[in-house]
Amino acid sequence: MDLTRTLTATPALALHGVAKAFGGTPVLRGIDLDIREGEFLSLVGSSGCGKSTLLRIIAGLETQDRGTLEIAGRDVTDVDPSDRNLAMVFQSYALYPHMTVRENIATPLRMRRLPGAARLPLIGRLVPNQSDTRAGIDAAVREAAEVLQITPLLDRRPAQLSGGQRQRVALARALVRDPAAFLMDEPLSNLDAKLRAHMREELADLHARLGTTFVYVTHDQVEAMTMSNRIALMDAGEIAQLGTPSELYERPANLTVARFIGTPQMNVLPVEIAPGGTVMLFGRPTALAVRSAPGPATLGLRPEDLRLARTGWPAKVLRIEPHGADRYLTLELPGTGAGRLVLRQYAGAEVIPGDGQVHVDFAPERAHLFGADERRREVAQRAEQVA
Amino acid sequence: MARFVPHLVLALGACVMLLPFYCMGLTAIRAPSEIFDISLWPIPEDFSAGRNFAKVEERVPMGRFMLNGVIVCAGILIVQVATAVPAAYALAKLKFPGKALFLALVVGALCVPMQALALPLFVGLAKAQLLNTYFALMAPFFLSVFAIFLFRQSFRSYPDEIIEAARLDGFSEFDICWRLVLRGSLPSLSAFAIFSVVAHWNDLYWPMIVVRDTALAPPPLGMLYFSDAESGADYGALMAGATLVTAPMVLCFLLARRQFIAGITMTGVK
């Protein structure tokens, strides 16, 4: 076996069976996760799924009840947060309010490189032989400020900065210490939509430039989809699916993942699997077949995989929502008892008739099928239907 | 018009509050013959401030009393802050078993009046041969549950995420407590300092119990010696002494007024 390969294959962070309960309520139910060196991994999920707790356990701010945690092959289960060499960016940015931006960024380095006496206010300057260290810290602060373009703000205090500027200072404070990994807890959620989109790009750039491991917690699937190498989608204290953004989008492992990833949400319709495997929608056979026992199941259709057609299921258009290049149609399938569907199409598509009566069909090769246990079932297209 | 009514009411209230102090100042500059004059006219016919203050100076060591007051108040305040800040930080921000019980004990201790403890404290100090010392004047007040409670309320509002960021950056709990959290509660600190200094500067009860030596007497006890001694009915001199004793507190409050009010309103203590 190639030795270099084995070495580089050591994950940056490895979690084994990490479990945590708060007052008897399990929050994490045994998480196993390897985070690769240099990857941007997002922990995504709705609130209460345990993603923040997991990040805090990685940081050492919370102690797990069971399980172990390794950073670059070293077991850090009982190591203090400050000795794990991880940098964290918090939702509220958590800047030290009484320090200037420069002091804020310098703090992690001062705490590590200067002896206790040299860190004291006023008299700290009198401790001998620290000038090289101080010069090194100053240089590192300047460089971090340069990277995040906050050099003009160095002498201000956090209260004098806007949300976006605080965000940059928090990032600079994190990257100045050259950590083994960055941990980010919903860092963009306090920004307005425009700034958020901009910071998304910047974070992705920063990751590309630094090549450091990022672990990013968010409830916003757009953030996860746009920035991550891989996404771990969490649900009720477990990892529901771990994979690249396109894997999660194209092949969701279960209904939870399918519903969480993608806007607008995936449409779900109740179907029946007939004996023989044909998938029956509202009593009519579809082009899909599955090798599975007969019984109820769920059909998942992304809005872009629905289409208006001459044949298909009769539907009524309730609302047309223009989104520039695209538009979303909200449809109702009369007489089926199914919920509303959303169809996404090119904005210049055919005109909808005044009474809103249309027919809707779907691309069978893009359909997702979930069994009664909500897990994904592989579907095939029925040969006779394709012909 | 309606805007001025509240101010008018408050101004009347302030006059009522300030009247005794005004009378004190007035008496201090009047001659004995005018003392019982009902008039509040600020300029006395016979301006005797010099005589009254000189009498205070020659009869009692007012400077010594003031110095005692400073030593006692400073000693009490330093130990109170040194003990209350870590306790309040632990109660506000750390998780440990028995936290609720400790907090209940703190609140409970707020209800125990000083007088209830005076006898056992006196006996203890007597047995330890510590009566008639600065230590005896200060010791009962070293642990202030009021300070713990006040600081806890104020520390609770310090953002948890900053504390966590500090832990990741390598701050010790000691650093976090003193350099970050207390830093964010400076108004509470100055409010408490004023409460504490005023209370112990003006305290007569406890010094009267534990101190017999004039050289150790804080200002109010000194005043008592002064009036006992010989002044008898020399109210002019007595009020001159009282003015001297009160002045440092008034100055102290005026200097820290803004901080004091911020500290009180922030923590919701009335």
The answer to which of A37-41, A277-281, B232-236 has the lowest mean pLDDT is: B232-236
Cα separation of A72 and B145, whole Å?
A: 48
Mean pLDDT of A48-59: 93
**Is B48 inside a domain boundary?**
no
**CB-CB neighbours of A90 under 10 Å:** 21
Per-residue pLDDT at A199 exceeds 70: yes
Res. B270: pLDDT tops 50:
no
Q: At A148, which amino acid appears?
A: L
Q: Is A153:A161 a contact under the CB 8 Å cutoff?
A: yes
On whether the CB atoms of residues B158 and B177 are closer than 8 A, the answer is: no
Please check the confidence at residue A8 and state whether its pLDDT lies above 60.
no
Chain A residues close to B161, C-beta within 8 Å: 90-94
User: Can you tell me the mean pLDDT for A99-107?
Assistant: 94
Give the pLDDT confidence score for residue B238 in this predicted structure: 85
Given a contact cutoff of 8 angstroms between Cβ atoms, the answer to whether B140 and B122 are in contact is: no
Residue A21 has a pLDDT of 94
Chain-chain contact of B168 with A92 (C-beta, under 8 angstroms) = no
Mutation target for B interface from A53, A90, A171, A183: give the one with most B CBs within 10 A: A90
Whether B91 is in a domain gets the answer yes
In-domain check, residue B1: no
Percent of chain B scored above 90 by pLDDT?
Answer: 53
Which range among A72-76, A89-93, B36-40, B100-104 shows the weakest confidence by mean pLDDT? B36-40
Q: Which range (A220-224, A291-295, B20-24, B244-248) has the least confidence?
A: A291-295
Query: Is B41 domain-assigned?
Result: no
Choose, out of A88, A183, A185, the residue to mutate when testing the contact with B (most B CBs < 10 Å). Answer: A88
Best mutation target, B95, B169, B189, to test chain A (most A CBs within 10 A): B169
Query: Do B168 and A59 lie within an 8 Å CB cutoff?
Result: yes
Give the integer Cα–Cα distance in Å for A336 and A47.
Answer: 33
Q: What is the ipTM of this complex?
A: 0.83
What are the pLDDT digits (tens) for A308-356?
888 888 899 999 999 989 999 999 988 787 888 999 999 887 788 888 8
* Residue spans of alpha helices (H) in A163-282: 163-175, 193-210, 221-227, 245-250, 255-260
pLDDT at residue A387 in the model = 33
Instruction: Say how far apart CA A109 and CA A144 lie, in whole Å.
Output: 12
Query: For A81, which of B162, B167, B180 is closest by C-beta distance?
Result: B167
* Contacts with B159 from chain A: Cβ below 8 Å: 92, 94
Question: Is the predicted pLDDT of residue B230 greater than 70, yes or no?
Answer: no
For chain B, what is the domain count?
1
Torsion angle, alpha carbons of A337, A342, A343, A346, to 10: 160
- B168/A91 CB distance under 8 A: no
In a domain, B221, yes or no: yes
How much is the mean pLDDT over chain A? 88
Q: Is B29 part of a structural domain of the chain?
A: no
Cβ B167–A92 below 8 Å, yes or no? no
A174-193 mean pLDDT: 90
Mean pLDDT of B206-217: 90
* Short-list A355, A35, A376, A343, CA closest to A181: A35
Give the residue from A76, A95, A110, A111 with the most B CB atoms within 10 Å of its CB, the best one to mutate.
A111
User: What number is the average pLDDT over the span A121-129?
Assistant: 75
Q: Which of A139-148, B82-91, B210-219, B228-237 bottoms out in mean pLDDT, i.e. has the lowest? A: B228-237
Residue of B168, B175, B185, B186 to mutate, testing the A interface (most A Cβ within 10 Å of its Cβ): B168
> Is residue B234 included in any domain, yes or no?
yes
How many whole angstroms separate alpha carbon A379 and alpha carbon A365?
A: 9
Instruction: Judge contact between A28 and A20, C-beta under 8 A.
Output: yes
The pLDDT, as a whole number, for residue B249 is: 87
Q: What is the token pair recorded at A232?
A: 């771990």
**Ramachandran sector of residue A30 (left: φ over 0; alpha: ψ -120 to 50; beta: rest):** left
- Nearest-by-Cβ selection for B167 from A61, A87, A107: A61
pLDDT of residue B145 exceeding 90, the answer is: yes
Q: For residue A71, what pLDDT is reported? A: 92
Domains and CATH numbers, chain A: 14-255 (3.40.50.300), 264-386 (2.40.50.140)
Residue A142: which residues within 8 A CB-CB, separation 6 or more? A151
CA atoms within 13 A on the CB side of A241: 21
Please give the Cα distance from A112 to A180 (Å, whole number).
Answer: 15
A contact set with B (CB within 8 A) = 56, 59-61, 80-82, 86-88, 90-98, 107-108, 111-112
What Cα–Cα distance (Å) separates residue A52 from each residue in A46, A91, A117, A240, B80?
11, 11, 36, 16, 39
Among the partner-chain residues A88, A94, A108, the one whose CB lies closest to the CB of B159 is A94
Query: What digits encode the pLDDT tens for the residues B22-52?
Result: 988 888 888 887 877 777 777 877 888 888 8
Tell me the residue length of chain A: 387
Alpha carbons A54 and A39: distance in angstroms, whole number: 17
Indicate which CATH number applies to the domain containing B212. Answer: 1.10.3720.10
Query: What is the three-class DSSP state of B234?
Result: coil
In a domain, B43, yes or no: no
**What residues of chain B lie within 8 A of the CB of A107, using their CB?**
169
The pLDDT value given to residue A383: 59
Residue A239 has phi, psi (to 5 degrees) of -85, 115
B133 — pLDDT class (breaks 50, 70, 90) = very high
A-contacting residues in B 57-116 (Cβ below 8 Å):
none
* Chain B from 204 to 233: CB within 8 A of any A CB: none
Chain B residue with the nearest C-alpha to that of A175: B169
* Per-residue pLDDT at A386 exceeds 50: no
Q: Which chain B residues are within 8 Å of A80, Cβ to Cβ? A: 167
B167 has a chain A CB within 8 A of its CB:
yes
Give the range with max mean pLDDT: A26-35, A274-283, B110-119: A26-35
Question: Residue B235 sits in which domain range?
Answer: 62-267
Residue linked to tokens 């301006």: B47
Which residues of chain B make contact with A189, given a CB cutoff of 8 A?
none
* Sign of the CA dihedral with B83 first, then B88, B93, and B94 last: positive
pLDDT value, residue A5: 45
CB contact under 8 A, A108 and B184: no
Cβ-defined contact of A82 to B161 (cutoff 8 Å)? no
